[in-house]
Amino acid sequence: MEESLSSLKLLRQSDRGELTMVKQVSSGSPNKASNPSKDLLSKEVEIEALAAETSEGSQEMFERSDTDMVEFRRESGSVLRIAEGAILDSSDIDVEVSEDETMIINMGPQHPSTHGVLRLMMELKGEMVLRTKPVIGYLHTGMEKTAEGLSYIQGSTNVTRMDYLAPLHNELVFSLATESLLGIDMPPRATWIRMLMSELNRLSSHLMWMATNGMDLGSTSMMIYGFREREMVLSFFEKTTGLRMNHNYIRPGGVAADLPDGWYDDVLAICQTIPGRLDEYDEMLTGQPIFRERTEGVGIITQAQAIALSASGPLLRSTGVAWDLRKDIPYLAYDEVDFDVIVGSVGDTFDRFAVRLAELRESVRIIAQIIEKMPEGPYRTLDKKVTPPPRKRIDESMEALIHHFKLFTEGIHVPPGESYVAVESPRGELGCYMVADGSAKPFRMHIRGPSFVNLQSLPTMMAGSLIADAVAIISSIDPVMGEVDR
C-alpha cells in the first residue's frame, strides 16, 4: 500500500509520456486468469494510471501530510486576509485529527446537487466536514477568449451563455461596457426596457433558486412550484425575445426589438400572481420547523469574512452589509424607482433564503413601478454608427445602405480605451472589463462572475458542518457553473 501511494505521487508529477508507458505495461500483462497476483498488480497500476490521468493536479485536495500549512488553513475555512487572531483563537485549538480517522470524498462533478459540474473535495470525519476544496473548470469553454474573436454586435450572443440563469444581466453588462466606451446616450425607453427585462430575469433566477434549494433540502414540491412560477416569466421572455434562454436581446445600442403587443397585461399578470405565490412559499418553507432547523445556523459567514472574500449579492447582504449596486452605484434608471435593499443579520443559510425571498418581493415592486413609468420613444439609439437603419431607409438612401453594409461587414468601431462596468446580477456583482483598440472587436473582455468569486467562501462556510449541510450551503451560494468556468 505504501509503495502504491508513493508511486501514485510520482505519477501525479509525471508527464504524459510516462503515463502512456504505464498504460502499455498494464495492458501488456500476459495470461491474466492464471496469475491472480500479477493480475491484481496490473489492476492496481491501471487504477493508478487512471487516477493520474484524471488528476487535477494542485487543484485537488491531498492528505494532511501532503498539504502545506497555508493551503491547509484555507481549506479548513480560514480567511487569510483577515488577521488570523480574529478567526482562530489558539486557545480553542484542541483537536488533532489523524489521517486514519478521516476520509477524502469527492462531491461532484457528477453529483446530483452540486448545481452543474462543481466538484468539491471534502475531508470528512464521520459525517462532519473538516476541509473543503472546490475544484472548478469542468465547464470551461473559453468564452472570454472567444469574445476577442467576435465583433461587438456578435458579442452579446456569447456572453448570454455564461450565466444561463440570468442571461439578460450578462447581455446588459456587456452592452453597458461597450456603450461606455462608445460614449453614446440611450433613449429612455431602451433603458427602461432593459431595466424591466433584467428585473424580470432576477425574478426568474431567484425562483429557480427557490426551486433548486427546496430540492436540495428534500422538499420536492418546492421544486415544482418554483419552476411553475419561473415558467410564467420565461413565457414572457419568449414572447419578447423569441427565446426562453440565451436571448441576445439587450445589445450594444439598445434592445433587439420593442416590447410586444399586450406586454403591459402580461407583466401585470406576473406582478399580480407572484406575491401570492411567495406567501405560499413562506408558509411552506419559512413556517416549516424542519426547514428552519435545516437552515438556521448552518454555514455561517461573518460580515468581515464575507467582505474579505469579496463576496457580493445575497451572500454578502445576508451578513448585514447593505451593498446593492442598484442602490450604491445606480445604473440604468434604478435611482428613479423606489425599492429597499434587503439585508440579513446572521449570515446563515436561512438568511440567504430570506434575503432572496424578500428580494423577489422587491423585484415585483420595481417591476410594478417600471410598467407604470415606461416612456415612449425609440428602443435603440439613433446613432447611425451603432444602430443599423430600418429596412425601408435602405431603399431610399445611399448613406443608409452604406451604413448598413459597414455595420454588418465590419461591425461597430469602438474607440480605444478601457472600462469596467458592473451590474447587480441575481448572484451578485457582475462586472465586465473591456479593453478596446479601435477595431470592431474587443481587445480583451473579462467578466467578473459573482458565482466564481462567491464560490471561494465555500470552505469558510463549510468547516465543521455535516454533509447534509454541505448541500444546503452549496445551494445557498447559488453558483452557476457556466459563469464560474466561463
Partner 1 sequence: MGQDPLFLGHISLGVVLIVVVKVLVAFVALLVSVLLMIWFERKIISDMQNRIGPNRAGPYGILQTLADGIKLFFKEDLIPEKSDRFAFKLAPYLTVIPAFLIFTIVPIGGTVHIFGHVAQLQVADPPIGILFLLAMSSVAVYGTMLAGWSSGSKYPLLGSVRASAQMVSYEAAMGLSVAAVVLITGSLGTRDIVNSQMGSFFGIFPKWNIIRLGIVPFVIFVIAITAELNRPPFDLTEAEQELVGGFHTEYSSIRFALFFLAEFMNTISMSAVIVTLFLGGPDGPNLGGPAWIWPILWFLIKTGAFLFFYVWVRAALPRLRYDQLMDLGWKILIPISLAWLLLVGAMQVSKVYGFVLFVVFLIGGSVLYRAVSIGRDNDSDVETITTFTRIKFNDETSIEGSNEGDN
Q: Which amino acid is at 209?
A: W
Least distance to partner 1, CB of residue 121, Å? 12
Closest-CA residue to 421 (of 440, 443, 439, 445)? 445
Nearer to partner 1, 173 or 222 (CB): 222
Q: What is the pattern of x (binds partner 1, CB under 8 A) and - over residues 177-216? A: -------------------------------------xxx
Nearer to partner 1, 165 or 470 (CB): 470
Least distance to partner 1, CB of residue 283, Å? 11
Does residue 444 sit in helix, strand or coil?
Answer: strand
Q: Does 464 bind partner 1 (CB under 8 A)?
A: yes
Q: Peptide bond before 109: cis, by omega within 30 degrees of 0?
A: yes
Closest-CA residue to 483 (of 59, 141, 106)? 141
Among 219, 381, 425, 451, binds partner 1 (CB under 8 A): 219
Q: Does 302 bind partner 1 (CB under 8 A)?
A: no
Among 10, 97, 257, 402, binds partner 1 (CB under 8 A): 97
Least distance to partner 1, CB of residue 110, Å? 9
Q: Which amino acid is at 256?
A: A
Q: Does 257 bind partner 1 (CB under 8 A)?
A: no
Q: Does 268 bind partner 1 (CB under 8 A)?
A: no
Do 176 and 421 form a contact (C-beta atoms < 8 A)? Answer: yes
Residue found under cell 468601431: 413
Least distance to partner 1, CB of residue 453, Å? 16
DSSP state of 100: G
Q: Of the ranges 104-112, 136-144, 180-188, 421-429, which one interacts with partner 1 (CB under 8 A)?
A: 104-112
Nearer to partner 1, 362 or 469 (CB): 469
Do 48 and 22 form a contact (C-beta atoms < 8 A)? Answer: yes
Do 367 and 200 form a contact (C-beta atoms < 8 A)? Answer: yes
Interface with partner 1: number of residues (CB under 8 A): 55
Nearer to partner 1, 151 or 349 (CB): 349
Q: Does 113 bind partner 1 (CB under 8 A)?
A: yes
For the chain, what percentages of helix, strand and coil (3-state, to nearest 5) are there? 55, 10, 35
List, in sequence order, every residue forming a beta bridge with 122; answer none if it has no partner: 105, 132
Among 51, 103, 257, 402, binds partner 1 (CB under 8 A): 103
Alpha-carbon distance of 30 to 34, in angstroms, equals 9
Alpha-carbon distance of 49 to 51, in angstroms, equals 5
Nearer to partner 1, 101 or 437 (CB): 101
Q: What is the pattern of x (binds partner 1, CB under 8 A) and - over residues 54-93? A: ---------------xx-xx--xx--xx--x---x-x-xx
Distances (CA, A) of 26 to 41, 46, 87: 9, 6, 49
Nearer to partner 1, 32 or 81 (CB): 81
Among 245, 268, 307, 467, binds partner 1 (CB under 8 A): 467
Alpha-carbon distance of 248 to 154, in angstroms, equals 9
Closest-CA residue to 295 (of 208, 216, 209)? 216
Closest-CA residue to 356 (of 170, 195, 212)? 212
Contact residues toward partner 1 (CB under 8 A) are 69-70, 72-73, 76-77, 80-81, 84, 88, 90, 92-97, 103, 105, 111-113, 127-128, 130, 214-222, 224-225, 228, 284-285, 288, 290-291, 293-294, 297, 300, 463-471
